[in-house]
Amino acid sequence: MAAKKLRRAQLSQEMCERLSRYQITTCQDFLCLSLLELMKVTGQSYYEVQKLLCKVSRACAPKMQTAYEMKLRKSVNPSSAFLSTTLHSLDGVLHGGVSCGSLTEITSPPGCGKTQFCIMLSVLATLPVSMGGLDGAVIYIDTESAFSAERLIEIAANRFPTYFDSDEKLLCMSRSVHLYRELTCCCVLKRIMSLEEEIISKKVKLIVIDSVASVVRKEFDTKLQGNLAERSNFLTRGASVLKYLAEEFSIPVILTNQITTSLSSGPGIRADLVSPADDLSLSE
């Protein structure tokens, strides 16, 4: 929306040409200038510039919806609002399961079962809707090389023996889990940026990133100067793209995180503050 070219914002042709002479071609450039600067570059009077500002704003402002419309839209399709984890007490606490359309973060010390949980959710997402699944493909971004395809088949065969009664069905399920191994922050970010087309072409219904913390902690040492800013930059960029994908396609996005000990005042263990699911990452 921000990179929308001004000529699509319904400004006149000559105005667009005049602005492009000052290198103002997108709505973002236009809105970042103050009123006086705008008067200078457009050569218009104060009131005209205000009208232009309104026109450009209308071109990139979001659409309004009332909370009531949002609720109606959700209630039209109640089953698609959550992916049930099939653990009843967990589903109860989560109000239905992993919610579609937002980011969910799973944190624990090593060995507690985060990757296993992710693998199980991948199986669940490929199940048909009648069995509580999402009937779609899964994108699994693995940064620790911890994903095991054999384990995937084992979980599927043992958990749902009646559904996966033939090898054919198991192979079909495993074909819809797309695994990407990315080992650096840069690759992870590039992969996240390219997901939009994959989601549409492969009919993806679940995105899992296992785990964000390991790449970030490998590459950014917060004790070095400048690294903290770069790290939070990377995390917030990734977070905003993932939030956009989750909301746009109404699919759940699962991220795993690690635990670290906070050595400052205050008791014991705190989750590693590499938390893109929330607002920001604080330092350790």
Partner 1 sequence: MQREVGTLPLAPALRARLAAAGFQTAQELLDTGPCGLSKEIGISREEALEALQVVRQECHGDAARTAGGSGATRKCTALELLEEEQTQGFIITFCSALDNILGGGVQLTKITEICGAPGVGKTQLCMQLAVDVQIPECFGGVAGEAVFIDTEGSFMVDRVVDIAAACVQHCHLIAEAQQEEDLRKALETFSLENILSHIYYFRCRDYTELLAQVYLLPEFLSEHSKVRLVVIDGIAFPFRHDFEDLSLRTRLLNGLAQQLIIVANDHRSAVVLTNQMTTRIGQSQSTLVPALGESWGHAATVRLIFHWDNSQRLATLYKSPSQKESTIAYHITSHGFRDVQPPAVTHSTEGTELNPRKRPRTEEEKQ
- Show the site string, 62-81: x = touches partner 1 by CB under 8 A, - = not: xxxxxxx-xx--x-------
Which residues neighbour 74 within 8 Å (Cβ) at sequence distance 6 or greater? 81
Q: Which two tokens stand for residue 218?
A: 């490998």
Helix (H) or strand (E) holding 177: strand 177-181
Instruction: By CB under 8 A, tell whether 260 contacts partner 1.
Output: no
Q: Which two tokens stand for residue 14?
A: 């000559």
Q: Which of 169, 178, 243, 262 lies at the binding interface for partner 1 (CB under 8 A)?
A: 243
Look up residue 208 and give its DSSP letter: E
Instruction: By CB under 8 A, tell whether 283 contacts partner 1.
Output: yes
Instruction: By CB under 8 A, tell whether 48 contacts partner 1.
Output: yes
Minimum gap (Å) between residue 259 Cβ and partner 1: 16
Which residues neighbour 163 within 8 Å (Cβ) at sequence distance 6 or greater? 127, 131, 169
Task: Please check whether residue 137 is in contact with residue 177, taking contact to mean a CB–CB distance below 8 angstroms.
Answer: yes
Give 48 or 221: the residue with its C-beta nearer to partner 1.
48
Q: Which of 5, 61, 90, 131 lies at the binding interface for partner 1 (CB under 8 A)?
A: 61
- The piece of 16-24, 33-41, 186-194, 196-204 that touches partner 1 (CB under 8 A) is 33-41
Instruction: By CB under 8 A, tell whether 39 contacts partner 1.
Output: yes
Instruction: By CB under 8 A, tell whether 56 contacts partner 1.
Output: yes
Q: Whole-angstrom Cα distance, residue 53 to residue 57? A: 6
Instruction: By CB under 8 A, tell whether 54 contacts partner 1.
Output: yes
Q: Which two tokens stand for residue 34?
A: 């103050």
Q: Whole-angstrom Cα distance, residue 74 to residue 95? A: 15
Instruction: By CB under 8 A, tell whether 280 contacts partner 1.
Output: yes
Look up residue 87 and give its DSSP letter: -
Give 44 or 260: the residue with its C-beta nearer to partner 1.
44
Q: Which of 102, 174, 227, 250 lies at the binding interface for partner 1 (CB under 8 A)?
A: 102
For residue 210, list its beta bridge partners. 142
Residue with the two structure tokens 């090898």? 167
What number of chain residues touch partner 1 (CB under 8 A)? 52
Instruction: By CB under 8 A, tell whether 14 contacts partner 1.
Output: no
Helix (H) or strand (E) holding 170: helix 167-175
Minimum gap (Å) between residue 153 Cβ and partner 1: 35
- The piece of 29-37, 118-126, 148-156, 203-211 that touches partner 1 (CB under 8 A) is 29-37
Q: Whole-angstrom Cα distance, residue 206 to residue 199? A: 9
Q: Which of 45, 77, 116, 194 lies at the binding interface for partner 1 (CB under 8 A)?
A: 45
- What is the 3-state secondary structure of 11-51? CCHHHHHHHHCCCCCEHHHHHCCCHHHHHHHHCCCHHHHHH
Give 151 or 243: the residue with its C-beta nearer to partner 1.
243
Note the residues at the interface with partner 1 (CB under 8 A): 1-2, 27-28, 31-32, 34, 39-40, 43-48, 53-54, 56-68, 70-71, 74, 95, 102, 232-233, 236-237, 240, 243-244, 246-247, 264, 267, 275, 278-280, 282-283
